[in-house]
Amino acid sequence: MFNKDERHQFILSQLQMSSKIMVMDIAKHQNVTPETIRRDLAELEMNEQLTRIHGGAVPYVPTQKEMVYEKKVSLNFDEKVKIAKKAAELIRHGDTIVVDAGTTTVHIADMIEDIQSLTVVTNSLSAAYRFNLAIEEKRISGQVIMLPGITNPDQASVKGTFTVDFLKRFNFNKAFISCGGVTKDAIYDYDMDESLVSEVMIEHSQEAILLTDSSKLNKKTLFEISPISKVTKVICNEEQPLDWSRGEYEWISTNDAEHMKKEWSI
């Protein structure tokens, strides 16, 4: 049986050899429970020696410095796609929706099918391209409105005063919002200007739907977007944490769908 220091040394050595490690693999090698390894990863993350992701860890990413878009989009890819698919199911004919610049929200356009007269407003260059492709492929009909502003090449987005002022002219049926972190009290992101854009999207929407994978739960980043009480729904790949308030918003777990599939297959 390895002691804690030996486990930590092994975990860090594995990260030097690989860009990603998984809890189950480390637990099996060290002959301990997955819960023990998760605690190890949490402690190492607190010491800024790695960054946790769903099911494992990657080399340390500073909390207040956001990964560039192309690197970020590959993290927890399968979970993000499932979350986006669930979000796409909420879109109805004739909706006017707003989509912020996130690596989960960007997949909504790929998942959407058979929706007519949809208006999409976004500050995401990638989302605008993908929704436009959905129109070209006749999976949807409607229009895409790209918000004005200053480009942020690292995040494939636009932001700034023009973006915020233009957004305030709209009233949306649904806002699809991403985040850098979320706690039981609030939603957070890394960039102040992009956080302000997401805040206005929430304020001007009948429904605000937060898309987050579980690696962002109970994590605070640089800037608060809004209190979580302003969100209508949260879509996540895991269940709502037990110590979070119930009833303020609807929590939709993509795991529910997976459990249902397993039950029906038995």
CA–CA separation, 31 vs 251, rounded Å? 35
State the average pLDDT over residues 67-74.
51
H/E element holding 11?
helix 4-17
Residue 65 lies in a domain: no
Q: How far apart are CA 5 and CA 245, in angstroms?
A: 36
- Please tell me the total count of domains within the chain: 2
Alpha carbon 259 to chain centroid, angstroms: 22
Same domain, 78 and 43: no
Beta-carbon contacts of 205 under 8 Å, excluding residues fewer than 6 positions away, are: 98, 171, 172, 173, 174, 175
Rounded distance between C-alpha atoms, residue 120 and residue 257, angstroms: 27
pLDDT digits (tens, 9 = 90+) for 217-236: 999 888 999 999 999 999 99
pTM for the structure as a whole: 0.72
Q: What is residue 75's predicted lDDT score, i.e. its pLDDT?
A: 65
Q: How far apart are CA 186 and CA 40, in angstroms?
A: 26
Q: Kindly state whether residues 156 and 89 are assigned to the same domain.
A: yes
Q: Examine the domain organization and report whether 42 and 85 are in the same domain.
A: no
Number of other CB atoms surrounding residue 103 within 10 Å:
25
Quick one: average pLDDT of 105-112? 94
**Nearest Cα to 209, choosing from 248, 244, 235, 190?**
235
Band (pLDDT 50/70/90 cuts) for residue 265 is very low
Q: Which residue has the higher pLDDT, 196 or 69?
A: 196
Per-residue confidence (pLDDT) for residue 73, from 0 to 100: 52
Residue 43 belongs to what domain range?
Answer: 4-59
15 with 141, same domain: the answer is no
Q: Are residues 164 and 215 in the same domain?
A: yes
For residue 77, tell me if it sits in a domain.
Answer: yes
Do 21 and 112 lie in one domain? The reply is no
**Matching residue, tokens 């260059």:** 125
Q: Do 76 and 30 sit in the same domain of this protein?
A: no
Does 112 fall in a domain?
A: yes
Q: What is the reported pLDDT for 261?
A: 42
Are 48 and 86 in the same domain?
A: no
Q: Are residues 136 and 248 in the same domain?
A: yes
* Residue 260 pLDDT level (bands cut at 50, 70, 90): very low
> Does one domain contain both 48 and 167?
no
What does the block give as tokens for 250? 């609807």
Q: Which residue among 15, 39, 59 closes a domain?
A: 59
pLDDT in tens, 238-253: 999 988 988 789 999 9
Average pLDDT, rounded, for the chain: 88
| Whether residues 231 and 100 fall in one domain | yes
